[in-house]
Amino acid sequence: MTKVKNFKDEYFYDLELSGEGLFSGRLLQGSDALLMSAIKQTHHPIFLTHQELIIHGQGTIAFTFQANTSFGIVLSENTAILGADEPVVCLEIGFHQTVFKKKLSDDSDAIIALIEKPCNTDAFLDINRVQTYWLSIDKENRLLRFGKGYMLHKLVLFEAELPRSGEAEEDAYAYIEKLKFISLMGDFTQEILSTINSSFWKFPVTVDLPPVVTSSNEVTLDMLDQGTSTVINNLFEECGVLYGNVAGQRVVLNTPDFPGFADAINYSIITKGCMLYEKLKEKKGEFGHSDLNETYLRITVGVNKGNSPGVPFVLEIWPGGHYSPIHNHSNCNAIIKVLHGSIQCNWYRGLSAYEKEPYDFCELKKDEVTWLNSRQFQTHKLHNINPKGEMCATIQCYMYDTNDIHHYEYFDYIDADDTLQHFTPNSDWEFGEFKVELKKEWNSRLL
């Protein structure tokens, strides 16, 4: 199990164990269930994981696999669930209905909340595809939440608020503060069990951090109250290091030695025979699509230090109308600053041929900064929605988590055939060479 640093004292656990290694045993299975159940069996076996809630009664648990039958995520106080009437929290995800339950009994009084098809949410089982299903338990706010993909409030599909009892009444849900053991319930074959991966966050899903990073000297109470911006201190330490490198006022495109840098880039993009026009033609089809608009330019700044996928600092040039494929970022951290123009960021709940619609987006303008890490904004598509002749330039900065010992070297993306592909972060030019050659081309246009 790898413990990955998260916001301040928060931790995100990515369980590398899979199959039998993820589970410490079957709690209710066949004849064993008769020995362990003092009341009655459940209809399905229950598999206990090695992971426990760090703080009893709160946290978010996710399981990623291809589920072809309904299943449940169960939180219990004891490792041995003594029967179907023992107090638990169970999320049962099915084809046509999804249920929060307070015990494993099939009785109607076991149901906390239920959602059924037809409805305007996809809070149900996704068959014939790999999906991440997560359950959030929040003892302080008495909230149960279910979602798919990243553990985010924007991706909540179904939730239930547990009632609080009055002073003279017994608190029917006081037991949730003691829940700590995590199990899966379902008719899983050994083949399915061997494919299940799990991750865990010690906090419940509450409020998502906003995408825009604002200097602490400029943030206001209104920004904090409305959640329109965050400060770098709220993010991973790695994001802070990257931000410190590029957020300064002097990290700009146009400089005294080349005041027409941005104009020169635009000119070279739209003028046949110029270096950027020809390079973009050459890159057509790089992502398996014949559309010239699915191209952009990567100018590396500095060298590969071994702590990022490719060179950590990249000047990216996005011609008007151009875009990237939907892709992720090796689970690394990143800071993106707009140096010229504007660009639209679309975010997706996972990298899959089934995830074509963004769950959110924003347009970033000159000097604005956004971020991503393994938990949030990791899968996106960048799109310069401006017309031809209005390019966007961004400085992209990447860094692996300090505790990442694998250093996956690729950005994965979905190609035109809906197939997962690997992109090796490359370089069209080194920055120093690029600036010299472009300046020469820019000046020669007057001759």
Band of residue 50 on the pLDDT scale cut at 50, 70, 90? confident
**Alpha carbons 123 and 134: distance in angstroms, whole number:** 11
CB atoms near residue 167 (< 10 Å): 4
| pLDDT of amino acid 43 | 64
**Alpha carbons 13 and 322: distance in angstroms, whole number:** 37
Bridge partner list, 343: 364
Residue with tokens 């072809």: 68
| pLDDT of amino acid 42 | 57
**Of 329, 406, 420, which Cα lies nearest the Cα of 370?**
329
What tens digit of pLDDT does each residue of 88-110 get?
999 999 999 999 999 988 889 99
What tens digit of pLDDT does each residue of 273-302 get?
999 999 999 999 999 878 999 999 999 999
What tens digit of pLDDT does each residue of 352-388 get?
999 999 999 999 999 999 999 999 999 999 999 999 9
- The pTM for the full model equals 0.88
**Alpha carbons 68 and 62: distance in angstroms, whole number:** 17
What tens digit of pLDDT does each residue of 116-141 get?
999 989 999 999 899 999 999 999 99
What tens digit of pLDDT does each residue of 14-38 get?
444 344 445 544 333 333 333 333 3
Q: Give me the mean pLDDT over the 321-332 stretch.
A: 96
Band of residue 226 on the pLDDT scale cut at 50, 70, 90? confident
**Alpha carbons 382 and 170: distance in angstroms, whole number:** 53
Q: Is 123 helix (H, G, I), strand (E, B) or coil?
A: coil
Residue with tokens 């009655």: 40
Residue 47 vs residue 351, higher pLDDT: 351
Q: What is the mean pLDDT of the chain?
A: 88
Q: Give me the mean pLDDT over the 164-171 stretch.
A: 74
